[in-house]
A and B are shown apart, each in its own frame.
Chain A
Amino acid sequence: MFDFPIFEMPTIGLRMLMAINAIIHTFVSHGGAVGGSVVLALAAWWTNKRGDMAGYETVYRLLMVFFIITTSVGALTGIGMWIHANIISPNAIGGLIRVFFWKWFIEWIVFNFEVIILLFWFMTWKPKALTPQGRSSSVKLGVFYAASSWVTMLIITAILGFMLTPNFDGQPWIDPEVYPGNVNYNNALFNPTWIPGLMMRTFSSIAFAGALAILWTWILTTFSKNEEIQETKERMIKFFATIMMVTVPVAAAFGYYYLLQIPEAARAMIPTAMMTRAFADKMDLMHTIISGIGGTVVLTTIIAYFSPKRMPYIAATLMVSAFLLFWGYEERTREFIRKPFLIYNYMYSNGIRVTDVPYLNKVGILKHAIFVDEDKKVVKEDKSNLIEVGHTVAQIECRVCHTVNGINGLKALTAGWSEAAIRNRINNLPGGGTPYMAPFVGTEAEKDALAAYIASLNKRGEIK
């Protein structure tokens, strides 16, 4: 991290910048592409099989909504994940691309199938809807689209699993004492949380897509001027609810299985991850929220299944909102429990490799900080640049998680602390209180500078 130019995101911080893109992407890619493709292909097959042409038309209208959102917001936030990762942790994404280059390349080839089939499916739907042969070939396109969407998820979950559990039961993916690092690609790929994570995601995506389809069916059929389309509301909602009745419990079961595969140290972080640190102790509240989200999904699914005609708009919205909350929490938790690492046991959250720590502790984190001005690297004898040096250390080691004044701001976190208290705190960052923090890396002089800088934040503007 120290060897790249420094970019700070004021107020919202880098983590939030990434989270905005990541959460939008998860919503769209899981609900729109992976789950949506399965749900829409099933619906097209079902309506066509029953000769229900009005239902078939409703599926087309749903596909249009899914097509627009997936190909614009979904695809571009997917590329956005890379660009955001570049900005926030170039060393981490650079490492991941070295390890997973060919898998990503294969994923890209599958993406081609996915996008081209989707374009074909959507753009040829209308002319093909006229004949039975056309419709059956259209349904086939839907099935291929669903299959290729799923394969892209298959590969990306391997990479996410790798970041959490890179080692395959004692078989390391890399020898830290060799340069250039020779990667064991098989151990990296076949990591213990890959398949459980994939299964959990697959089924909850289909369930989520079911919820989205119910909401959109409600909107499209209610506001349609065509009576036949209006009448499809009941049977289409019932159909999507049936999909959910199956996938919701399966997703929950795989979710539990996934949980069991997570390393113990990471699992212990879940309460903090779910809320913020202040809520870490309020397990009751956490359980209430989880049951609230789960209960809403189950309850609205049951309503949709047994009373599709009277399914109120508010229930459909609640259903989708519950899923949005679920994905938001799932993503936050999965990202958080990996702390203090970005790639478990290999690289800390701030992009510093574990192997580099002893050397950097000896020579200082700023010695090789190439893009930092020379006069901000070493504390001068008269200590005139102490705070500037401390600021640089903070930019390099703290900025990924902390802003100065905004979210998780250093200023508010240390209000009322003396410089000695701050320095003591820096000494045991990953200690009992905050096991998710990466340790301080650098020399004692740099530690002094960092403490002086953080202490200076609350002194500014004080009337002397």
Chain B
Amino acid sequence: MKKILLALSLVMIGIAYHNNVKAQSEEELVQICTMVAGDAEYLKDFRIKLDAGDPPPVQRFPVVLKKDVKYRFSVCNSKDYEGKVILQLFDNNRQLATTYIVATGKDYPYIDWVCTKTGAYHLVYSFRDGKAGLAVGLLSMVGTM
């Protein structure tokens, strides 16, 4: 009886610890991404977690961006997953910018965006080749134009 209770307590402590570690790891990704963004002022972070799929699943976030502001979009992948995150910036239906240039196969940890139109935009995150992944995207401000 006592052994079972002890085992139950240990399992609960273990799970609580595991949950804490998981939560911290997302926070750590935000901190890493903040460093990747450099001098740019933090505005918001986006947590992305997607299962594997074909076509690759996406996670979208609507944002309002302002004219005459230079924004920086940074991305950071969790080491625990295979997936490499891609950010695509859209307005109503046009892709405007991306962290992964298909033509060159180059992947960028951050890209800058000089905004000339105040309005709604969409950040669309996915993982290359539809792999499962965990990542953080950061929106920050480089400065005004």
Say if A and B assemble together.
Answer: no
Binding site for B on A (CB under 8 A): none
- B residues in contact (CB < 8 Å) with A: none
